Chain A
Amino acid sequence: MSLFDPQIAAYIPWVSGISAVVCGLLCLYPQYAKFAAGVCASAVGVGFVIALGIWGNVVGAGTAVNPEPLMRWIEVAGLEANYGVYLDGLTMIMLGVVTGVAMLVVIYAAGYMRGDPGYARFFAAVSIFIFAMTTVVMADNLVLLFLGWEGVGLASYLLIGHEYHRQAAVNAAKKAFIVNRIGDFGVLLGMFCIFDVFGTVRFEGFLPAASALLTGDGSGLNMEAAAAYAQATAVLADGGQWLLMAAPFGLMVGAFGKSAQLPLFVWLPDAMEGPTPVSALIHAATMVTSGVYVIARTMPLFELSPYALPTVAIVAGATAILGASIALAQYDLKRVFAYSTVSQLGYMFIGVAALSSTAGVFHLVSHAFFKALLFLTAGSVMHALAGQLDIRKISGLRHKMPVTFVLMGIGCAALAGLPVLTAGYWSKDLVLATTFDRAIATSGGTAFVYYAVGVVGLLTAFITAYYCFRVWFRVFFGEERYEMGDHHHGGGDGHDDDHGDHGHAHEPHEMDWGMNGPLVVLAVGSVFAGLLLGPTHVVEHLIDGTSAEANALRVGDDATPYVKAVHTAMYFVSALIAVAAVLVAYVLHGPKRKVEGDDPVRLRAPKVFGALNSKLWIDEVYGGVIVYPVRVMGSVFYVVDAVIVDTVVRGLGVVPRLLGQGVRPAQSGRLHGYGLGMALGVAAVVAVTFYAMSRGG
C-alpha cells in the first residue's frame, strides 16, 4: 500500500529548504513576490504527499525505520550526528500533523497576508520553519534534532518579529528566542549527559540501550545499541549514575522552554505579536508541541529516573491550571487562545508524564486541529475588524460573519471537550484517565502527585470550557456592536499597502472561501479526528512500544477491566464538567448577559481578576530577577573592565617607564659624554676579559 521508499523522507526538509531560498530570492523582486505562497505551499504539499506515501511502509514495518543518512553532518571521534531519519509511528503522526496543518495554514496565509510588504519574506520564514520542524520530528539523533529545534526557534523569531517596525513585535521576538535559548541550554546538557553515558546520540543506539537498562536485560540488541548498553553499564558502575539521572532533566528544561511550560512559558503569549497564521501554525499547532515530542521520543530515559516523570507531571499540572486561569481574565482574543495553548500543552505533558505517550500525542493531534482552527478564525475576526481583538469592543458578529461564527464554535467545542463529537473530548479524556491509572499503579508520593495532577486536570477542564465559550458568546452573540482597529489586517503600516485590498476596512465581512476552505478542513478534523482516533485506539497502535510499562496501560482490547472502568468513568465525569462550564459561561456571557463591555467576574472579584489579567506579574518578576540584573552586571563589568582591569594590566607598563626615567640623565646629548661612556665600556670589557683569561690561563 506504500508508494515510496522510506529513504525518501530524508528529502522532506530539504524541499522546504529550497523553498526558503526561492522565497528569499523573491524578496528581491517585489513584482514576483506573489508566487512565494505557491512555492511554499507546494513544498509543504510535497512533504505531505511523501509522508502519506511512506506511511504504510513505516507503520507496516513494526519497528523504527532508520535508513542510511542522506549526508554526513558531524562525525568526530565517537560522536555521530548525520542527516539521518528515524521513522516510526510517532514520527509519522508528527510528520502528518506538521505538514498537514502547515499546508492548510499556508493556504490560509496566502490570502491573509495579501498586501503585506513582507509577503515573500513571510513565506521564506515559514519555509525555514517547515524545514526545521520536519527535521525535529524525523531526526535520527539528538544533535540533528537540535538543529531543527533551534531552527524552529529562528523561524519563530523571524515570524514573531515579522512586523519589525513595531517595537512590541521586536521585543517579543527577542524574548521568545532568548527564553528558548535557556531551554536549549538544558537540551545541550541533556545531550552531553546522554553522550557521556551511552557514547552515542543516535536514537537507534541509546533508546534501545536505555530500555535494556530499564529491564536489566541487554540481550537481543542490535550492534549499535549493544555497544551503547555496554558503555552505559560501565559508566554506571563507575559512579556515573547521576549523569543518567540528570539527562532527562536537561531535556525537560528544553521541552519546557519550547513548549511554554512553567517557568519558561512567558514568551508564548507575547509571541502573539506575530501574524495570526503564524500563531496558529507555530505557536499553537506544531512548534510548541515539539517539547512533547522530545519527551515521548526519549521516554525510556525518563523512565530510568524515578523523579523525572513526576516532575514533568507537577510542572505540567501547574502550568495547565495557571494558563487556564490567566486565560479566563484576558480581553484580547489572541491572548486568550495563547494562554489556552499554554494550558493545553500542560495537558499533553500530563499525558506523557503519566507514561502514556499515546495520550499526550493524541491530545497533541486534536489540539493541532482545533487550536489552529481557533487561531485562524480569530485571525479572520481580526482581519475583518482591522486588527481589533478586544472582546469588550466586539459583540454580536454572528450575522456579519456566519461562517466564522460556526467554525469558531466548533473550535471552542473541541477545546472545551464537549462530549462525544469533538476531538478534544476524546483526547483530554484519555490524558486524565491515564493519569488516574498511573496514580493507581504507583504508590506513595508518586501516586499522590498523579492524583493531584489528575484533579487539577479536571479543574482545568472546567476553566477551559468556561473561558473559550466566554469568548465565543461575547464575540458572536448579543447586540451587534464593534469598533474598528487601527491597522490593516496585521500587516503594513499604512503607506505601503496602497496596492492591497483594504477597501474592506470599513465594514466587517466574511472571508472568501480561499481562506475559509482550510478552516473547514480543520473544523472537520476537530470533530472527526477524535472519533477516528479515540474509540479506535489508532494512536496507541502507532505509538506503542515506547516502553513495556507504558504498554501495560494501554486501553485497547487487552486492557484490564479495572483500567477500563477508570476510562469509562472519565467519559462521564469530563462530559459533565464540560457541559456545566458551558452553562456557566452561557449565564454570564450568553445572549442574555447583563454586563456589556466588561467581565462580570471582574466586577465581583476585581483583585483576583486583576491579578490574573496582569498575568500574576510573572513578567515583572522575571524582569527584576533576571533581565535587569544581567543588564546591570554587564554595565558594572564594563566599568570594571575599562577602569580596573585595564588600569591594573597597563599599570605593569609603569615599571619600564620608571626604569627609563631612572637612566634618562645618561642621555645628555653631549658627544663627549657618549665618548667617555664608550671608552669606559670598552675598558670594562677589556678588564673583564683579562681577568677571565688570567684565571683561566
Chain B
Amino acid sequence: MEQTISSLTFSHYFLTGAVLFVLGMIGFITRRNMIVMFLCTEMMFQGVVVTLAAAAALHGNVTGQTFIIFVLTIAAAEAALALGLVILLFRRRQTLDAGAWSELSG
C-alpha cells in the first residue's frame, strides 16, 4: 500500500479531478438531452470531490473531507429536485431537448 501510494503523487489525484470536471463541462455544453446534461453536472461535482479529497490528504486535515460530505448531500438533494424539474419540462413539451426552452431570450 505504501508503495502504491508513493508511486501516485498528489498531482495524479488533482489531474483526475480536473479531467473529470472538464469532461463533465464538455458534456454539459455539447449534449442537448437534459438528463445527460444533468448527469454531466454530476460528473463535474465528482471532479471537485476528488480534488477536495486530494487536498485534504495533502494538508493532513479533514476540512476537505467535511466539504465532500457537504457536497454529496447537496448533490443528492439537487438531483432529486433537478430530475423532478426535468420531468416537469418533459411533460410540457414532450421532448428532452434543452433547445426547446429559450424563453429567457432578452
Same complex: yes
- Which residues of A come within 8 Å of B, CB atoms? 664-672, 675-676, 679
- Other than the known A668-B102, A670-B102, A675-B25, what 7 A-B pairs have Cβ atoms closer than 8 Å? A664-B106, A667-B106, A668-B106, A669-B104, A669-B105, A671-B99, A675-B28
List residues of chain B with CB within 8 A of the CB of A671.
37, 98-99, 101
Q: How far is the CB of A453 from chain B (nearest CB, A)?
A: 83
Q: Which of B25-78 contact A (CB under 8 A)?
A: 25, 28-30, 32, 37
Q: Report the Cα distance A669→B104, complex, angstroms.
A: 4
Taking a contact as CB atoms under 8 Å apart, the answer to whether A672 and B104 are in contact is no
Q: Which of B11-27 contact A (CB under 8 A)?
A: 25
Listed from nearest, the 6 A-B pairs whose CB atoms lie closest are A667-B106, A669-B105, A669-B102, A669-B104, A671-B98, A675-B29
List residues of chain A with CB within 8 A of the CB of B29.
672, 675-676, 679
Q: Report the Cα distance A587→B98, complex, angstroms.
A: 113
B103 close to chain A: CB less than 8 A: yes
14 pairs from A and B in contact (CB 8 Å cutoff) = A666-B106, A667-B104, A668-B105, A669-B101, A669-B102, A669-B106, A670-B98, A670-B99, A670-B105, A671-B101, A672-B30, A672-B32, A672-B98, A679-B29
List residues of chain A with CB within 8 A of the CB of B106.
664-669
Q: Report the Cα distance A120→B28, complex, angstroms.
A: 87
Contacts across chains A and B counted by CB atoms under 8 Å = 34
Q: Report the Cα distance A679→B29, complex, angstroms.
A: 9
List residues of chain B with CB within 8 A of the CB of A676.
29
| Residue among B30, B101, B105 with most chain A CB within 10 A | B105
Q: Report the Cα distance A104→B24, complex, angstroms.
A: 104
Size of interface on B: residues with Cβ below 8 Å to A: 14
Q: Report the Cα distance A679→B41, complex, angstroms.
A: 12
Q: How far is the CB of A660 from chain B (nearest CB, A)?
A: 9
List residues of chain B with CB within 8 A of the CB of A667.
104-106
List residues of chain B with CB within 8 A of the CB of A672.
29-30, 32, 98-99
A669 and B98 in contact, given A675-B29, A679-B29 (Cβ under 8 angstroms): no
Q: Report the Cα distance A668→B102, complex, angstroms.
A: 7
Q: How far is the CB of B25 from chain A (nearest CB, A)?
A: 5
Q: How far is the CB of A485 from chain B (nearest CB, A)?
A: 78
Q: How far is the CB of A156 from chain B (nearest CB, A)?
A: 66
Q: Report the Cα distance A670→B101, complex, angstroms.
A: 7
Q: How far is the CB of B24 from chain A (nearest CB, A)?
A: 10
Q: How far is the CB of B16 from chain A (nearest CB, A)?
A: 18
Q: How far is the CB of B41 from chain A (nearest CB, A)?
A: 10
| Residue among B25, B29, B98, B103 with most chain A CB within 10 A | B29
Q: Report the Cα distance A667→B102, complex, angstroms.
A: 10
Q: Report the Cα distance A666→B105, complex, angstroms.
A: 9
By beta carbon, the residue of chain B nearest A672 is B29
By beta carbon, the residue of chain A nearest B21 is A682
Q: How far is the CB of A666 from chain B (nearest CB, A)?
A: 8
List residues of chain A with CB within 8 A of the CB of B99.
670-672
Q: How far is the CB of A448 from chain B (nearest CB, A)?
A: 85
Q: Report the Cα distance A665→B98, complex, angstroms.
A: 19
List residues of chain A with CB within 8 A of the CB of B98.
670-672
Q: How far is the CB of A657 from chain B (nearest CB, A)?
A: 13
By beta carbon, the residue of chain B nearest A674 is B104
List residues of chain B with CB within 8 A of the CB of A670.
98-99, 102, 105
List residues of chain A with CB within 8 A of the CB of B37.
671
Taking a contact as CB atoms under 8 Å apart, the answer to whether B28 and A669 are in contact is no
Q: Report the Cα distance A472→B6, complex, angstroms.
A: 132
Q: Report the Cα distance A675→B28, complex, angstroms.
A: 7
By beta carbon, the residue of chain A nearest B28 is A675
Q: How far is the CB of B98 from chain A (nearest CB, A)?
A: 4
Q: Report the Cα distance A670→B29, complex, angstroms.
A: 11
Q: How far is the CB of B95 from chain A (nearest CB, A)?
A: 13
List residues of chain A with CB within 8 A of the CB of B101.
669, 671
List residues of chain B with CB within 8 A of the CB of A669.
101-106
Q: How far is the CB of B1 from chain A (nearest CB, A)?
A: 34
Q: Report the Cα distance A669→B99, complex, angstroms.
A: 9
By beta carbon, the residue of chain B nearest A667 is B106
By beta carbon, the residue of chain A nearest B41 is A675
